[in-house]
Each structure stands twice: as structure tokens, then as C-alpha cells.
Structure 1
Amino acid sequence: MAQYDQIATARPESALATNKVLRNTYMLLSMTLLFSAATALISMAMGLPQGASMIMSLAAIGIVWFVLPRTYNSSMGIVWTFVFAGLLGAGLGPMLNHYLAMANGPSIVAQALGGTAIVTFGLSFYAVTTKKDFSFLGGFLMVGMIVMVVAMIANIFFAIPAMSIAISGGVVLLMSLMILFDTSRIVNGGETNYIRATVSLYLDIYNLFVHLLVLVGFLSSDD
């Protein structure tokens, strides 16, 4: 009987902890996305060159791999998350300026933003409300990411437009599934660190937007 009481007590505590992680994750995620938008606007206004954009993106990758893992459990993790998000946001400046310079540029960017928002909110809402466990997607997502990375490296040398579109379509699918996977991990207690969860979801949304922008831009260019 005592053992049953301990289990019954542990379940509400576990649910509260999970809800706290989920709440903190979406709060931090919202702030970092807004911060990214601000740095992107500054970058666009400054006319940041493509080379600087690449350096910023590489610096952000370095932070994800080497700095954030050492700071996930401290307040400095929040600081570095904003630095990381700010760099990626600023790095988007040249790409956004490129599409906005097109005849229907504002429409292309708006469609990509709208599509990203719909996919993100829709899949997140589904994962949170149904509480389904999407951990079974882990193996598929890992293989898919490896395939996409290899394809991207190959396309640097071949530069085939059709291959670029296929890669963007594949990344959009993978990032959509990653949003389900990462949100499910939080909801089901598989992810207990909200800073790490924020970084994962931010990368999902960032890559989803970038590759939706490529797809919408390509489709609009055929009009």
C-alpha cells in the first residue's frame, strides 16, 4: 500500500516537472525566435555580405557543438542560446535580401513564414494534446539526416538545381518530423532540460523556414 502511495505521488510530480520543462521551453523558444528576427532585420538593413553570413552560421554551429553542451545546466546556457540564435538570425540577412529583391519577393518570404508557422504550431499542438510517443522516429530521422548531409555535400560539386529542390523537400519533411519527435520527447519526459529542448526545436524551425523559402522561391520563379 505504501509503495502504491509513493507511485501515485510521483506521477503528479513527474507531470508537473514535464509541464514546467514544456512551458520554459516555449517561453525561451519564443524569445529566441523574436531575437533572431531582430538580428535578421539588422543584418538586412546593413546589407551583410554572404561571406559574413557564412562565418556567423559556422560560429553558431560551433556554439551548438562545443559551448552549449557545457552550459545546458547553468544560466550561461541561456546567454549562449541567445548568442547562437542571434548569429543564425543575422546569417539569414543576405538570403532574405536575395528573395525580397525578386519581383514577388515579399510574397515568397511571407508564404515561407506562414508555412513554417502553420507546420510548427500544428505539429506541436498535435504532439502536446495527443501525448503520443514519437521516439520510434529516431532511427529514421538519423538516417534521413545523414542522407541529406551527404546529398548537400555532393550537390556542392554537382550544383544540380533539381537536386537542390529535392534536398529542400527532404529537409522540410525531416524537420516536420523532428518537431513531432522533439516535442514528444518533452511531453513524455524524455527531455528534461529546457535549454537543450529549445535549441533542438529552434534548429527544427530554422531549417524548416530556410528550405520552405527555397521551395516557395523555386515554385514562384516558374509562374
Structure 2
Amino acid sequence: MSILNGVLRNTYALLSLSMVPTVIGAWLGVAFGLNFMAGNPFLGFIVFMAIAFGFFWAIQKNKDSGLGVLLLLGFTFFMGIMMSGLIGYTLNSYSNGATLIMLAFGGTAAIFAVMATIASVSKSDFSGMGKWLMVGVLLLIVASLANIWLQLPALMLTVMVLAIAIFSAFILVDVQRVINGGETNYVMATLAIYLDVYNIFTNLLALLGIAGGNRD
């Protein structure tokens, strides 16, 4: 049990550290106006997925070494750059953009705290949810790609709300997997939970912009 607690502690420590390159990447992206999705969203998505899966493969291959940690931090820097388009849009489009970003950060932190606590204390087994949640993620990707052409506001809102719900549930699965010994590598555990937190934050921020953004 002490070993598993050590994995969880290391996971949370690396997760906290991973926020630093994410913020740096987002700041640089906003400062230099980087937005890979602006010109051709579909092509941008393909390039993003290719780079992301390249990182996934490299991190998996080097998960037991210090290089794995460096690759993970490099990935979070890349994800920060990818987030910069949304951050820049929020700051430039809404007079309360900075407030919306802080609200999204606080909301994401609250969701993580609640879900991680439930995963830690609950006697329920959440592992069975994993495959259904993955199906949900695939459907979200298909719906998001379709909406590049459809441009349906209702579909966009639905995707955002479902994404927040699905990745919140993924925190239950991913944290409990570490606690139960299903994942004993803290680098891979951090990668999984980081993706949960990242997707909650970005979708929550976009949703807050639509619901509470002030364009005055």
C-alpha cells in the first residue's frame, strides 16, 4: 500500500509540475499569436493528433526513465501552445476574459479535488466505466470534426458539456486505477490525469465564455 501511495504522491507532484510548462506554452502562444487551428481547423486537428500521438509513443517507451519525465513536460508545453488560441480569444473577445480564465481554473481545480477524493474514499469500482467513457470520447471527436462544417451552436454546446462530464468521470477511473495498483508508473498516470484536467479546463473555459463572456 505504501508503494501505491508513493505512486499517487509522485503522480500528483508531477501533475503539479506539468502545469508550469503548460502555462509557459500558453503564454508564449498568446504573446506570438500562435493558433494552429485558425487557418484550416481540420488540417490543424490532423497535425495536432500526429504530434500528440508521437509524444504518447515516446513517453510510453521511456516511462521508466528521466527522459520520460522530460518528454511528458515537453508534451504539456506543446499542449499549452495548443491552448493559447482559446486563451487569446477569451482575453481579446471578452472584457472579463481574465476573470473567465480564473473561474475556469478554479472550477477545474474544484472538479479535480472532488473526483479525486471520491476515487480515494469510495468502495465502488469505477474501472468498468473506462471503456464506455472512451466510446464517449470517440463520439465527441467525431461530433467536433463534423461541427467544423456544420457550425451548429447547439452541437458545440452539447460537446462542451459532455466533454466536461466525461473527463470528470475519467478522473475517477484514472485516480482509482493508481490506488488499486492498476497503474504503477507515475509518468503514465500523470499523462492520463493531465489529459483529463486539460480537457475539463478548456471546455469549461469555452462554455464560460459563451455563457458569461462580456463583449462590452
> When the two structures are superposed, what TM-score results if normalisation uses the length of structure 1?
0.85
Matches within 5 A, 1:91-102: 91-101=82-92, 102=94
Distance 1:183 1:110 in 2: 25
**Are the counterparts in 2 of residues 131 and 188 from structure 1 also a CA contact under 8 Å?**
no
Counterpart in 1 of 2:125? Answer: 133
Structure with greater Cα Rg: 1
Distance 1:52 1:166 in 2: 22
Is the 8 Å Cα contact of residues 57 and 88 (structure 1) preserved in structure 2? no
3-state DSSP of counterpart to 2:128: helix
Gaps of 5+ in 1: 1-14
Counterpart CA distance in 1 for 2:103 and 2:57 is 34
Please point out which of 18, 21, 40 is paired with 1:32. Answer: 18
Residues 1:93 and 1:222: Cα distance change in structure 2 (over 3 Å) = closer
Q: 1:41 to 1:222 in 2, by over 3 A?
A: closer
What's the RMSD between the two structures over aligned residues?
A: 2.2
16, 22, 37: which is aligned to 2:8? Answer: 22
Distance 1:59 1:139 in 2: 23
Aligned residue pairs, count:
209
Higher relative contact order (CA 8 A, sep 6+): 2
User: Hey, what's the Cα distance between the residues in 2 that align with 1:51 and 1:215?
Assistant: 18
1:104 aligns with 2:96: yes
Counterpart Cα distance in 1 of 2:111 and 2:61:
31
Q: Any unmatched runs of 5+ in structure 2?
A: none
Kindly indicate which of the two structures has a greater share of residues assigned to helix. Answer: 1
Indicate conservation of the 8 Å contact 2:178/2:189, yes or no.
Answer: yes
Provide the C-alpha distance between the structure 2 equivalents of 1:188 and 1:126, rounded to a whole number of angstroms. 14
Q: 1:57 to 1:150 in 2, by over 3 A?
A: closer
